[in-house]
Amino acid sequence: MDLINEFVNKTKDVLKDSLAGIYLHGSAVMGCFNPEKSDIDLIVVVNDKMSDAIKKAYMEMVVNLNSYAPAKGIEMSIVRKEVCNPFIYPTPFELHFSAMHLKWYKDNPEDYIRKMNGTDKDLAAHFTIIKKRGKCLYGLSIEDVFSEVPKADYMDSIWNDIAEAPEEITENTMYLTLNLARVLAFAKDGLVLSKKEGGEWGLKNVPEEYHSLIENALSEYGSSVVPQYDKELSVKYAEYMLESIRKTVPTS
């Protein structure tokens, strides 16, 4: 099964004339997709508010396709076109799905449909990737749908992912090591990078004492082997990187 083509065709079937476009972002468009570590990141844009019945039909489709997806599954959000241009932050969404929510949906689909909406700061980061490097799979062009995300909104969005890094890095070392590097790359140089590219930037711009940590994280990201991490060094790195980011871009 060509999962992405199937997703596009099924989305067209369910959403019909309300569908404005389907856009791919994340590792699949940034040259670092790893079936064992990456999810398939999609944004669906609609013209109208979705009814609960349409949400239910859509979720049934997505959950079925997710069973054929790589290990981390599909991650997708549906947003209305009116929140994309002019951009609204935090960004309202109509519906969201990722593998971490699968049990909730299967256990109580009505509760999921009723509650899975609101605003999501992560969408600022997703829209930024779409604008810089995304791919339109169907519908209106990226330029016709998405306005530029203000740098302050993007920074706030990606800061949320790393704000507690010193407390969390020993449990999620690979992800936070690379993510801290790509956030600092944006703060210092205005670069919008993948995690892999962030790590490579870090090897050129972060003090040498942290290079072994970054190299281990890059190695794990590109394979299925989990290296032995120096926990003390990883915490020191997280503290150094947060301080460097704060010095470059004041954060709340």
pLDDT of residue 252: 54
| Residue range 104-160, pLDDT digits in tens | 999 999 999 999 999 999 999 999 999 999 999 999 999 999 999 999 999 999 999
- Domains annotated on the chain, with CATH: 3-149 (3.30.460), 152-248 (no CATH)
- The packing angle between helices 173-189 and 151-162, to 10°, is 160
Question: What are the tens digits of pLDDT across the range 160-201?
Answer: 999 999 999 999 999 999 999 999 999 999 999 999 999 999
Looking at residue 169, its pLDDT comes to 98
**Closest among 91, 114, 88, 96 to 41, alpha carbons compared:** 96
Contact partners, residue 51, CB within 8 Å, separation at least 6: none
Query: Helix crossing, 122-133 with 151-162: angle to 10°?
Result: 120
Helices (H) and strands (E) in the chain, counts: 12, 7
SS (H, E, C) 132-194: HHCEEEEECCHHHHCCCCCHHHHHHHHHHHHCCHHHHCCCCHHHHHHHHHHHHHHHHHCCCCC
**Number of other residues whose CB lies within 10 A of the CB of residue 31:** 10
The pLDDT mean for the chain works out to 95
Burial of 129 (0-12, 13-18, 19+ CB in 10 A): buried
- For every residue of 112-123, DSSP letters joined together read HHHHS-EEETHH
pLDDT reported for residue 38: 83
User: Which band of pLDDT confidence, cut at 50, 70 and 90, is reported for residue 251?
Assistant: low
pLDDT at 71 over 90: no
Task: Tell me the pLDDT tens digit for each residue of 3-62.
Answer: 999 999 999 999 999 999 999 999 899 988 877 778 999 999 999 999 999 999 999 999
Q: Which residue has the higher pLDDT, 249 or 244?
A: 244
Distance CA 81, CA 147 (A): 11
pTM here is: 0.94
